[in-house]
Amino acid sequence: MEYYVHFKPISHLCLHFLLVLFSCMGAGLSSNIVKHTCLEKEREALLSFKQDLADPSGRLASWMGHACCQWQGISCNNRTGHVEKIDLRSTYHSFLVGKINPSLIHLKHLSYLDLSQNDFQGIQLPKFIGQLKSLRYLNLSCTSYAGEIPPSLANLSNLHYLDLSNPFYDCYSKNMNWLSHLRSLKYLNLGSVNLSSTGVGWLHDVIMLPSLLELHLFYCHIDKSLFRLSPLMINFTSLLVLDMSSNFLHSSFPRWLLNLISLKSLEHLNLRGMGLQGQIPQVIGHLCKLKMLNLGGNDFNGDLQEFLSGFSNCRDNGRMVSELQHLDLHFNSFSGSFPESLRHLPSLKTLHLSSNHMNGSINPQILGQLSQLVDLDLSKNSWEGVLTESHFMNLTRLETFRIGTNRPALSSSLIFNVTDDWLPPFKLRTVDIQNCRMGPAFPVWLQSQTQLVDVLLDNTGISGRIPVDWLLKISSHVESLLLPNNDIGGKLPFQFKFLKITVMDLRHNQFEGTLQQLLPTNVPLLRELYLSDNHLKGTIPPSICQVQYMTILSLRNNQFSGEFPQEWSMWRYLRVVDVGNNNLSGNIPSSVGIPRSLGVLKMNDNNFGGEIPFAMQNCSNLTGIDLGGNKLTGKLPLWLGSKLSKLQILRLRFNYLSGNIPQQLCNLKELHILDLGHNDLSGTIPKCLSNLTSLASGLTSWHLYGDYDEQTTVIMKGGEHTYSSDHTLMWVMSIDLSSNNLKGEIPEEICALIRLVSLNLSRNQLVGKIPSKFRNLTGLETLDLSFNHLLGQIPQSFSSLTLLSHLNLSYNNLSGRIPSGPQLQTLDSSSYVGNPSLCGFPVLTKCEGDDTSTLQTFLGGDSQDEDENEKLGFYISMVLGFILSFWGVCGTLLIKKSWRYAYFQFFDNLKDKIAVAITLKVARLQRRL
């Protein structure tokens, strides 16, 4: 049985970039228009400035005529008439593109310059900015500038506010001397500016700037050496806000920081995603002014109880005075039970403890003290026990509630048991309950929650139908409705108008009926639809193509029949179509290539006929194609190799494809699963297969498609195994060309693919010898060369294939002594039958000159253990692979924790998702090993 992990829906990384973009876009334009005609020289300067900017949305349309003080974004001094303020902060739809014209230096009285979120297309910030000496406010954040920050900024000694944060662009500073001249700075933001080569000591000087209140240095590549070499003695600071997140120290809590913290002024401390380890120093609890503390995404461990009890110092006449409102400790390694010392934090509004190793039951008395809570995230821990009304009695302000265990066990140890007449004191907007028993009936209390925007009930044991009244009440505003892995039945709820819904996930339930009610007008914003593993039938209605924002459509493992709709051209953002394992027929729509954005196409195990549609070659972003188990005819298209360069999985097994295996396939540098078995392919195995870089290096990249869980079946180890993107798919390295009419010899070049785990060339017409270089394939677990015409000896070097657990060389013309070796010793004679000239263990024929008495007995395995052993073997080889090589992002993530944090931090909004997917993967791996 397959389980899924679900998170708040976010459709794709790209979306994240948009989110970042949005987050860069705060308030709009505010311009104080002063009625005054402006000075001619300044007017000309502004016009020159305008000339270097393309203005697609007409933001500068008012920049004409003489009254420049009334132009949009310009403010002048109402006595002198000098331009003092330029505020051209852009909004999402209306940015300016180009560069900054030097004419600005004629605005001698300019004190406020905000050009944030416009697009300077990678230009370097001009030096002349240093001449704008009147500037008090300078905001160039998110302007896509690049290169070095001009040290001439040192001249801006009046600056109070400086924001140069610049995500996604390669900008840096080599030397921070310029900063120490800005003695008036109150606010400094250098987020995402690379400060890795700035030398030592400056951080101290910056923190000691006499007026500095806010310091934002997130993702600045500041590393440990910087801190180690500067013994910071900080005896004064006015700092209120410190954000050092996403600088990867990979160390215990730095001393200088403790030093800083002892000054107690801090209100806002963000150390998220810094790779910090060990215990959190209790002294943090002495920061009684602290309102926000974010230590998420680190590797802190120990019991929270002790750290939190530090806050008990914050007392005034016996009264609790800690002002902490936001505490984020998610994704660490905290253990212990729900900490009793939380009662020292009566002002908490946000508490995130998700993705830790906390256990035990949650004490209602402690939770009851936190009556200000608005956002409570207790998901992905090892909680036990029963949640009842008493847990929630005081949580009248709760809007976001997440809880659950990280183990998708069938009978979860966490139970939600409230009486049917319980009316919760809160009105939730987000509910997220995973791996926690709530069913079997649909919880009555949930039906009182009618303001819900995001609903996730995953593996909660709910069966029966979704209450119609409740659906009707939330349908107008719900944005995500995720109820996967339950036993919910009845018809799909498409009779309602879900005007805001973007993700609907009902996979792995008992839904019946058809999709006929899925009208685009009822789900106008739907992006992701997961209905896999239900009992749906009927045809897929053409109207589904009119759901115009659809990016992911997963209908696999149902009983849909008929043809797949042709109107793909109406989809513009499509990334995934998975209709595997249904009864669909007809031709694969020729319009498949119209949304070029397609990333995964799975139409396997249906009755599709015809040829692989030509238009698919337009989908240059395809990473996975699975059309196996159909009745496709024709040749393997050459463009598969020449146009689809990102392909990682190509599975065309069980069709009627003919012709040669084209050389072009060798261009697929990222391919790691190639399955062309059971077709009518002829010709020879191309020698150029050695060009399949992924299989040679073990390097695969990682594509995320929302919550889509890609599954691919691979024949390995003598059986079918389904690997999913939630587990191990990206690590499967396999070539299967079995059951075709391939001729000629096995090209020695194939032995360059040293990361291969499975190679199946059986049931062809292959001749010649087995190349001795097979010894290079040290990761090989499955090798099937049976039913060919191979000759000669089995290379003795086979003994070095220490992971080989499934070897089939049967029915060839092999001869001579069977090689021996610790691993080969465990295989039985069935690996070799049909080769009458083979001799030696384990076949009965003795080789000439062998001692007749040493007939070894064969050790039979307990068949029940076999499956486990297979899995174990796979994981072992996986681990070997991952020690020996990089696996793109994911391999790196697993190995280098610091990178992992970087990654999580950077993709902030995806954090839980990726983080937890990884934690789960690692946890699973550890359990299995």
Ligand X SMILES: *[C@@H]1O[C@H](CO)[C@@H](O)[C@H](O)[C@H]1NC(C)=O
189 vs 412, beta carbon nearer ligand X: 412
Using the rule CB under 6 A, is 30 a contact of ligand X? no
What CA–CA distance (Å, rounded) separates 480 from 502? 6
Question: Judged by CB under 6 A, which of 51, 157, 211, 390 binds ligand X?
Answer: 390
272 vs 703, beta carbon nearer ligand X: 703
Helix spans in 318-358 (H): none
390 vs 495, beta carbon nearer ligand X: 390
What radius of gyration do the chain's Cα atoms show? 32
Q: Which stretch binds ligand X (CB under 6 A): 154-162, 385-393, 471-479, 806-814?
A: 385-393
Torsion angle, CA of 340/346/349/355, rounded to 10 degrees? -10
Using the rule CB under 6 A, is 691 a contact of ligand X? yes
CA distances to 61, 92, 234, 257, 265 from 230, in Å: 52, 41, 11, 12, 22
- Residue 14 C-beta: closest distance to ligand X, Å: 6
- Residue 410 C-beta: closest distance to ligand X, Å: 15
Site size toward ligand X (CB under 6 A) is 23
Residue nearest to ligand X (CB): 368
- Residue 84 C-beta: closest distance to ligand X, Å: 9
- Residue 17 C-beta: closest distance to ligand X, Å: 9
Question: Judged by CB under 6 A, which of 15, 29, 213, 386 binds ligand X?
Answer: 386
Using the rule CB under 6 A, is 660 a contact of ligand X? no
Q: Find how far residue 320's CA is from the centre of its chain.
A: 40
Residues within window 128-157 making contact with ligand X, judged by CB under 6 A: none
Using the rule CB under 6 A, is 396 a contact of ligand X? no
- Residue 321 C-beta: closest distance to ligand X, Å: 16
- Residue 417 C-beta: closest distance to ligand X, Å: 4
743: β partners:
684
> What DSSP designation does 176 have?
-
Using the rule CB under 6 A, is 394 a contact of ligand X? yes
Using the rule CB under 6 A, is 415 a contact of ligand X? yes
Q: Which stretch binds ligand X (CB under 6 A): 118-126, 326-334, 465-473, 663-671?
A: 663-671
Q: SS3 string of 256-294?
A: HHHHHHCCCCCCEEECCCCCCEECCCHHHHHCCCCCEEE
- Residue 596 C-beta: closest distance to ligand X, Å: 4
Edge-to-edge strands, sheet with 837-839? 767-769, 789-792, 813-817, 837-839
Mark 614-633 with x for binding to ligand X (rule: CB under 6 A) and - for no binding. ------xx------------
Q: Which stretch binds ligand X (CB under 6 A): 389-397, 475-483, 706-714, 743-751?
A: 389-397
What CA–CA distance (Å, rounded) separates 789 from 785? 9
35 vs 927, beta carbon nearer ligand X: 35
Question: Judged by CB under 6 A, which of 371, 372, 869, 892 binds ligand X?
Answer: 371
Using the rule CB under 6 A, is 597 a contact of ligand X? yes
Using the rule CB under 6 A, is 313 a contact of ligand X? no
- Residue 681 C-beta: closest distance to ligand X, Å: 17
- Residue 594 C-beta: closest distance to ligand X, Å: 11
Question: Judged by CB under 6 A, which of 30, 417, 476, 607 binds ligand X?
Answer: 417
Using the rule CB under 6 A, is 364 a contact of ligand X? yes
What CA–CA distance (Å, rounded) separates 552 from 530? 8
- Residue 236 C-beta: closest distance to ligand X, Å: 4
Q: Which stretch binds ligand X (CB under 6 A): 21-29, 368-376, 693-701, 817-825?
A: 368-376
309 vs 597, beta carbon nearer ligand X: 597
Backbone torsions φ then ψ of 309, nearest 5 degrees: -70, -15
Question: Judged by CB under 6 A, which of 23, 51, 57, 78 binds ligand X?
Answer: 78
621 vs 724, beta carbon nearer ligand X: 621
Q: Which stretch binds ligand X (CB under 6 A): 166-174, 264-272, 367-375, 376-384?
A: 367-375
Residues for the chain: how many in total?
A: 929
Using the rule CB under 6 A, is 69 a contact of ligand X? no
What CA–CA distance (Å, rounded) separates 892 from 167? 22
- Residue 388 C-beta: closest distance to ligand X, Å: 8
- Residue 115 C-beta: closest distance to ligand X, Å: 22
Helix spans in 434-479 (H): 468-475
621 vs 820, beta carbon nearer ligand X: 621
Amino acid occupying residue 180: S
553: β partners:
529, 577
What CA–CA distance (Å, rounded) separates 775 from 920? 34
351 vs 801, beta carbon nearer ligand X: 351
Q: Which stretch binds ligand X (CB under 6 A): 148-156, 360-368, 464-472, 758-766?
A: 360-368
What CA–CA distance (Å, rounded) separates 842 from 838? 10
What CA–CA distance (Å, rounded) separates 204 from 657? 68
Using the rule CB under 6 A, is 235 a contact of ligand X? yes
Using the rule CB under 6 A, is 81 a contact of ligand X? no
Q: SS3 string of 539-599?
A: CCCHHHHHCCCCCEEECCCCEEEEECCCCHHHCCCCCEEECCCCEEEEECCHHHHCCCCCC
Using the rule CB under 6 A, is 263 a contact of ligand X? no
605 half-sphere exposure, CB direction, 13 A CA radius: 13
Q: Residue 93, Cβ neighbours under 10 Å: how many?
A: 9
Question: Judged by CB under 6 A, which of 539, 663, 724, 869 binds ligand X?
Answer: 663
Using the rule CB under 6 A, is 667 a contact of ligand X? yes
CB 94 within 8 A of CB 119: no
Give the helix/strand (H/E) hosting 415: strand 414-416
CB 769 within 8 A of CB 747: no
208 vs 895, beta carbon nearer ligand X: 208
394 vs 582, beta carbon nearer ligand X: 394
Using the rule CB under 6 A, is 236 a contact of ligand X? yes
Using the rule CB under 6 A, is 596 a contact of ligand X? yes
What CA–CA distance (Å, rounded) separates 293 from 324? 8
CB neighbour burial string for 460-480, b if at least 16 within 10 angstroms, e if fewer:
bbbeeebeeebbebbbeebbb
Q: Residue 211, Cβ neighbours under 10 Å: how many?
A: 12
Mapped onto helix, strand or coil, the DSSP state of residue 682 is: coil
577: β partners:
553, 601
CB 397 within 8 A of CB 422: no
Q: Which stretch binds ligand X (CB under 6 A): 154-162, 390-398, 808-816, 836-844?
A: 390-398
> What DSSP letter does each residue of 78-100 carry, written as one string?
TTT--EEEEE----TT---EE--
What CA–CA distance (Å, rounded) separates 270 from 256? 15
Residues within window 526-555 making contact with ligand X, judged by CB under 6 A: none
Mapped onto helix, strand or coil, the DSSP state of residue 910 is: helix
32 vs 826, beta carbon nearer ligand X: 32
- Residue 415 C-beta: closest distance to ligand X, Å: 5
Using the rule CB under 6 A, is 693 a contact of ligand X? no
292 vs 674, beta carbon nearer ligand X: 674
Using the rule CB under 6 A, is 259 a contact of ligand X? no
Using the rule CB under 6 A, is 666 a contact of ligand X? yes
Using the rule CB under 6 A, is 569 a contact of ligand X? no
Using the rule CB under 6 A, is 230 a contact of ligand X? no
- Contact residues toward ligand X (CB under 6 A) are 78, 235-236, 364-365, 368-369, 371, 386, 390, 393-394, 415, 417, 596-597, 620-621, 663, 666-667, 688, 691
